């Protein structure tokens, strides 16, 4: 199957790379940056074709729109309204199905919210659909298993999950970075400190998932009275760790809702 990408930067490029694991997929791409597309063409020889939007629409049943939200209006205006053969997949944060429909008319539409781990096929992506048949939805769901998990969601919840899973990898990276700095300050080198921190994150996530316990319960279980962990957690509590995370998430949510 041919899959189109208009705008193939960080996020759309990550999706393309995950989908490339399926040998049967070829990719028709267009981006402002020729160098980026030529690099993809070289990397996936014979499977990535650099072309213009009209050719993408002619060749591809699914077309991902990978441009920034502020570039969506201009792009959609240039595409026009009559697309009986195309299913558009928009990943633009804060850009609603109604807005897509205003530009693309009665086209079949998917609004998704992916996160960066799609690159390693461990992403979580949320999708809201408009006018897709059951078969088309199933084809899309099968395709997206290459990127990780896909959840269908009511569009009203899209902004919240975008913060919960789309912005939050950066919060986790900030937390991990702080731990790496602690390791460096206490005699570890950067390579070992980084490796140990990611091992911990991976293990803690798996334990959380497999134990079925809440994060709060797991935290309490590590905090034995008189132990060392509880001393650190007290410092986090006193410094307003929970409130800081809530404030960060609220700030991301406000921005998501007012993206343009």
Ligand X SMILES: NC(=O)c1ccc[n+]([C@@H]2O[C@H](COP(=O)([O-])OP(=O)(O)OC[C@H]3O[C@@H](n4cnc5c(N)ncnc54)[C@H](OP(=O)(O)O)[C@@H]3O)[C@@H](O)[C@H]2O)c1
Which H helix or E strand runs over 8? none
CB of 63 to ligand X, least distance (A): 12
Interacting span for ligand X (CB under 6 A) from 20-28, 64-72, 99-107, 231-239 = 64-72
Q: Does 155 bind ligand X (CB under 6 A)?
A: no
d(CA 201, CA 206): 9
First to last CA, the chain: 34
Interaction residues for ligand X, span 224-243 (CB under 6 A): none
Residues whose CB falls within 8 Å of the CB of residue 51, separated by 6 or more in sequence, listed in order: 28, 29, 30, 59
Does 114 bind ligand X (CB under 6 A)? Our answer is: yes
Q: Choose between 230 and 253: whose C-beta lies nearer to ligand X.
A: 253
Under rule CB under 6 A, residue 15 binds ligand X: no
CA torsion angle for 39, 40, 45, 51 (degrees, to 10)? -100
CA-based nearest residue to 56, from 103, 2, 20: 2
57, 67, 97, 158: residue in contact with ligand X (rule CB under 6 A): 67
Q: Which stretch binds ligand X (CB under 6 A): 10-18, 187-195, 196-204, 232-240?
A: 10-18
Task: Tell me 9's DSSP state.
Answer: S
Q: Are 107 and 131 in contact (CB under 8 A)?
A: yes
Q: Which of 89, 193 has the CB closer to ligand X? A: 89
Question: Looking at beta carbons only, is 31 or 99 nearer to ligand X?
Answer: 31
Q: Does 99 bind ligand X (CB under 6 A)?
A: no
């Amino acid at each position: 199957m041919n899959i189109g990408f208009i705008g193939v930067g960080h996020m759309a490029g990550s999706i393309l790379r995950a989908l490339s694991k399926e040998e049967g997929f070829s990719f028709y791409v267009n981006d402002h940056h020729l160098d980026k597309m030529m690099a993809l063409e070289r990397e996936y020889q014979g499977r990535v074709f650099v072309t213009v939007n009209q050719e993408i629409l002619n060749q591809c049943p699914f077309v991902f729109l990978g441009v920034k939200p502020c570039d969506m209006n201009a792009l959609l205006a240039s595409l026009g309204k009559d697309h009986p053969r195309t299913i558009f997949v928009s990943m633009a944060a804060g850009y609603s199905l109604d807005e897509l429909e205003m530009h693309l008319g009665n086209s079949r539409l998917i609004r998704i919210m992916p996160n960066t781990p799609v690159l390693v096929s461990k992403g979580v992506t949320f999708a809201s659909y408009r006018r897709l048949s059951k078969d088309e939805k199933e084809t899309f769901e099968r395709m997206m298993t290459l990127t990780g998990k896909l959840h269908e969601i009511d569009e009203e919840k899209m902004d919240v999950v975008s913060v919960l899973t789309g912005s939050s990898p950066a919060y986790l990276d900030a937390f991990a970075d702080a731990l790496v700095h602690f390791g460096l300050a206490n005699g570890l080198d950067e390579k070992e400190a980084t490796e140990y921190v990611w091992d911990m994150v991976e293990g803690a996530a798996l334990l959380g998932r497999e134990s079925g316990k809440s994060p709060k319960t797991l935290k309490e279980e590590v905090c034995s009275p008189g132990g060392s962990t509880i001393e650190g957690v007290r410092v986090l509590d006193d410094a307003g760790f929970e409130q800081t995370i809530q404030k960060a998430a609220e700030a991301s949510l406000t921005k998501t809702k007012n993206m343009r």
